[in-house]
Structure 1
Amino acid sequence: MAFKGLTRRQFAGLTGWSALGLSALSAASGRAEAAAASGFPSGFLWGTATSAYQIEGAVNEDGRGASIWDRFAHTPGTISDRSNADTATDHFHLYREDVQLMKALGAKAYRFSIAWPRIFPEGAGAPNPKGLDFYNRLVDELLANGIEPFATLYHWDLPQALQDRFGGWTSRDTSKAFADYSAYVAKYLSDRVKYFFTINECSRLVHLGHKYGADAPGLKLPPSGLNQVRHNVALGHGLAVQAVRAHGRAGTRVGPAENAVSCIPAIETPENIRAAEIATRELNAGYLTVMLEGKYTEAFLAQAGKDAPKYTEEDLRIISSPIDFVGLNIYTPDHYVIAAGNERGFTLAPFPASFPHMKASWLRPGPEAMYWVPRHVAKLWNVKSIYITENGTSGSDQPAADGTVYDVDRIMYLRNYLTQLQRATSEGVPVLGYFLWSLIDNFEWSDGYEQRFGIYRVDFDTKRRTPKLSAAFYRETIARNAVV
């Protein structure tokens, strides 16, 4: 390179960068360094996260009904390693041991999901008391160890009976059944569970399960059908919020856990930041935007055209029922955004082939997403309480000769993301807590057991749990309330 000896101004002129752009980059670097030194706010909540189907196993015990993932995982060609989650990590029997793993980290919160087919084996009708008993035992164990339970009502394991009877989320009847199930759970658990998430990642369950057929129930719907599923899922969220409000104890709180489309300014200039905000609102139109504004954007409806979902104004009022917080699952940047003079006001930069990724090819590390996504959500919709409900990474995670998993790649990933989260909280972005995905290795949906996300390694034959080096990193981060 021939840039040696150039002044900052000469370099800016040569490369076409403005002084404003360089100043913005310098200021951003300074803010990140200051945030790293300050730590997280007092009372920041540190936790871990899992989901029922990925860890529980015991699919035929205590009256549990079949879910769409049971059917899907047993269909040849759907799971990359030809596995299933019939036993998973056997959390159903080992939950007390797993709670001790959380306690050893110093975690004060645990986000888990409730298996709908354990509670209602047929999706509706008569509840299964033994199914609720398991979650009663789990919640009591958590509280006895000083760990706050955060329950997710739906993490994709729809009762197969509802798929067979109604076509699952293609029908509003499933949205109504979800409300009834949510009401029952809130009635019987909210004496001890104060935080409920409605639906985990509406976007993924709609697109991978109903557009691409890569997840259960394995459908490939045309645009009109896909948009109706999207609306029915959002409606289910709103009905569940109302059900929890009506049947939960005083002080019960409820909100979504969404994998928002993350839009990052490619360079931190005022123009690009504004463009990223516009993109965030438009590209999340079918989920967060309609939940928080009570309407679909004009661009969303125009693009859908004749394939737009059928809905009523009452639907929109239900979908936008007031919530107490927004949960955000943040793994990777979806788009780097540049301001543009086009109709949308932004353009999306393509990812070059050289952009890095973790073991899972879809997981491109872009730690700045952890700063921008909650910042955008707080600013666009005046959200006052945010939780990072999932963040983590896959890794090779092979034990060394001494038996230790030296997952320094995961530590690198977490350190960088948490540094950006510190930057956000230091600037007043209202993030109240962070749930690391995941406590233990588990069944990773269509990837089976090939992708490991846990900070505790699981031997899937013996079910033995062993801490990885990242567990020590996370324990130290929690203890300091700051990035190590």
Structure 2
Amino acid sequence: MRFKGFSRRRFAKIAAWSVFGISVRPSTAAANAASGFAKAKFANFPDNFLWGTATSAYQVEGAINEDGRGASIWDRFTHLKGKIIDQSTADIANDHYHRYKGDVQLIKELGARAYRFSIAWPRVFPEGTGTPNPKGLDFYNRLVDELLANGIEPFVTLYHWDLPQALQDRYGGWRSRDTSQAFADYAGYVAERISDRVKSIFTINECARLVQAGFGTAIDAPGLSLPQKEINQVRHHVALGHGLAVQAIRAHARSGTRVGPAENMEICIPAIETPANVRAAEIATREFNAGYLTAILEGKYTDGFLAYAGADAPTFTPEDLKAISSPIDFVGLNVYMPNHYVIAGENGEGFFPLPFAATYPHMDSNWLRIGPEAMYWAPRHVAKLWNVKSIYITENGTSAADRLSGDGKIYDVDRIMYLRNYLTQLQRATSEGIPVEGYFVWSLMDNFEWSDGYEKRFGLYHVDFKTQRRTPKLSASFYQEVVKRNAVA
């Protein structure tokens, strides 16, 4: 924008002291007060709170046909016409497979001390089972070594949706418990070989999303729309895969290796914080998560879940439930938005979920409702309901407008607004002793955002996908300051 008679530089200088011709030059007292605000101490997070960033293999790596990698269900899905909004694929994505050393430096520039990334199952086992591919695991060994050399702790996710296509063809993927066992075998193999350096392993990322979007609405790979009974059976097999993987990791990993799930739980928030409504939100949280997280933490499906499912309930055995509830060391929570606001039912019993207004505000992605309090209630419920002693926020972030300004920079104040408000609620949680040990912002850099392709950008670093140039956004500076202060900036 250019104002008549003013250069940009001169306008900026004048604007610093006047608004619409009214002088706003600060007095000495005001200047001193402003200085005092700048020096005010922010509420800190706990000592040794772990600040990190996150990505996933399929979204950033590219190199889908290199070094013996097998095909994944997402490779096939993205090449089907009409499945991805911008008709793109992740064949190249961020080319992280070749540029990982530079990307590690981006993490280091933020001051972050941890990086959550996923291992591509088809890189390690191109056919899903059978003969492993040494070159596939070699890449992750190099990445882990590079992270450690730069003082960054690796957190590994074993499954972030990129199922080997061979298992989909052979078994129907997660429709079969054979895939649950194959996942456990893969998990044990990887854990045995990386746990000398990797101490924290997440089994499966977002069961809720991969089941509903992949097997219910067909938005995600493998693109199926199954009857509800089959959807519930798929969810059971994913939960079983998690439990069997925990057992395999315990059997094969070095002593001291920690393991747990990373879930986008249904977050239930009391509409008004009265004791009755808080209790209603807790009851709702347990029931809305009954098909996965509750089963993992309680070793059973709730009576409410089974009654609601009726004839569509999954088929399972007591041995299945015992495996699913294998003891874990932490719970990872992917927190983006509230799922339900609830009030207590009549006479203060049960819960009543409230509908969202049509005008409820959202971010650049229209599914991403703005509700910072979700960041408080999600870990609070997990700690209170199930006595979980170690929690990580494994994802939190937002897409934003991310328009390049005339100076080639991105001033993403919308993303900063979102992160600041959510982190304020997280600080509320930790200040009350809720055991959140770390936070991983989603994401390190713009990447392939599943069915949205490259249309939506979640990164702290802007990526020009034609040149692969990474450019820090203003939110990168914001997050850098948060990490530096160990407080909301």
TM class by shorter-chain length? over 0.9
RMSD in angstroms over aligned alpha carbons? Answer: 0.9
Q: CA deviation at 1:396?
A: 1.4
Cα distance in structure 2, aligned partners of 1:85 and 1:137: 22
TM-score under structure 2 length normalisation: 0.91
Cα distance in structure 2, aligned partners of 1:376 and 1:170: 31
Q: CA deviation at 1:341?
A: 2.1
For residue 234 of structure 1, the aligned residue among 213, 233, 239 is 239
* Per-residue deviation, residues 274-321 of structure 1 (Å, max 9, x unmatched): 000000000000011000000000010001111110000000000000
Cα distance in structure 2, aligned partners of 1:126 and 1:344: 55
1:274 aligns with 2:279: yes
Change in CA separation of 1:209 and 1:343 when aligned onto 2, cut-off 3 Å: farther
* Per-residue deviation, residues 72-127 of structure 1 (Å, max 9, x unmatched): 00011100000000000100000000000000000000000000000000000000
Q: Which runs of 5+ in 1 are unaligned?
A: 1-35
* Per-residue deviation, residues 54-81 of structure 1 (Å, max 9, x unmatched): 0000000000000000000001110000
TM-score under structure 1 length normalisation: 0.92
Q: Tell me which amino acid in the other structure corresponds to 1:293.
A: E
Cα distance in structure 2, aligned partners of 1:219 and 1:298: 28
1:474 aligns with 2:479: yes
For residue 105 of structure 1, the aligned residue among 103, 110, 128 is 110
**What does residue 431 of structure 1 align with?**
436
**What does residue 17 of structure 2 align with?**
none
Q: CA deviation at 1:353?
A: 1.2
Cα distance in structure 2, aligned partners of 1:473 and 1:414: 9
Cα distance in structure 2, aligned partners of 1:80 and 1:327: 29
For residue 166 of structure 1, the aligned residue among 164, 168, 171 is 171
Q: CA deviation at 1:361?
A: 0.1
Q: Tell me which amino acid in the other structure corresponds to 1:162.
A: L
1:206 aligns with 2:215: no
Alignment check: 8 A CA contact 2:57 2:117 kept: yes
**What does residue 412 of structure 2 align with?**
407
Identity %: 75
* Per-residue deviation, residues 411-435 of structure 1 (Å, max 9, x unmatched): 0000000000000000000000000
Q: CA deviation at 1:39?
A: 1.1
Change in CA separation of 1:264 and 1:114 when aligned onto 2, cut-off 3 Å: same
For residue 197 of structure 1, the aligned residue among 191, 197, 202 is 202
SS of equivalent residue, structure 2 residue 291:
helix
After TM superposition, the structure 1 = structure 2 runs for residues 288-307 of structure 1, keeping only pairs within 5 Å, are 288-307=293-312
- Which stretches of structure 1, 4 residues or longer, exceed 3 Å deviation after superposition? none
SS of equivalent residue, structure 1 residue 150:
strand
Cα distance in structure 2, aligned partners of 1:310 and 1:171: 12
Cα distance in structure 2, aligned partners of 1:383 and 1:364: 27
- Of structures 1 and 2, the larger Rg is shown by 2
Change in CA separation of 1:177 and 1:75 when aligned onto 2, cut-off 3 Å: same
SS of equivalent residue, structure 1 residue 285:
coil
**What does residue 309 of structure 1 align with?**
314
* Per-residue deviation, residues 210-236 of structure 1 (Å, max 9, x unmatched): 011000000100011011001000000
1:418 aligns with 2:436: no
**What does residue 126 of structure 1 align with?**
131
* Per-residue deviation, residues 203-256 of structure 1 (Å, max 9, x unmatched): 000000001100000010001101100100000000000011000001100000
Alignment check: 8 A CA contact 2:276 2:348 kept: no
Q: Tell me which amino acid in the other structure corresponds to 1:170.
A: R
Cα distance in structure 1, aligned partners of 2:275 and 2:312: 36
Q: CA deviation at 1:38?
A: 2.3
**What does residue 16 of structure 2 align with?**
none
Q: Which runs of 5+ in 2 are unaligned?
A: 1-40
Cα distance in structure 1, aligned partners of 2:245 and 2:370: 33
Aligned length: 449
**What does residue 445 of structure 1 align with?**
450
Cα distance in structure 1, aligned partners of 2:128 and 2:468: 30
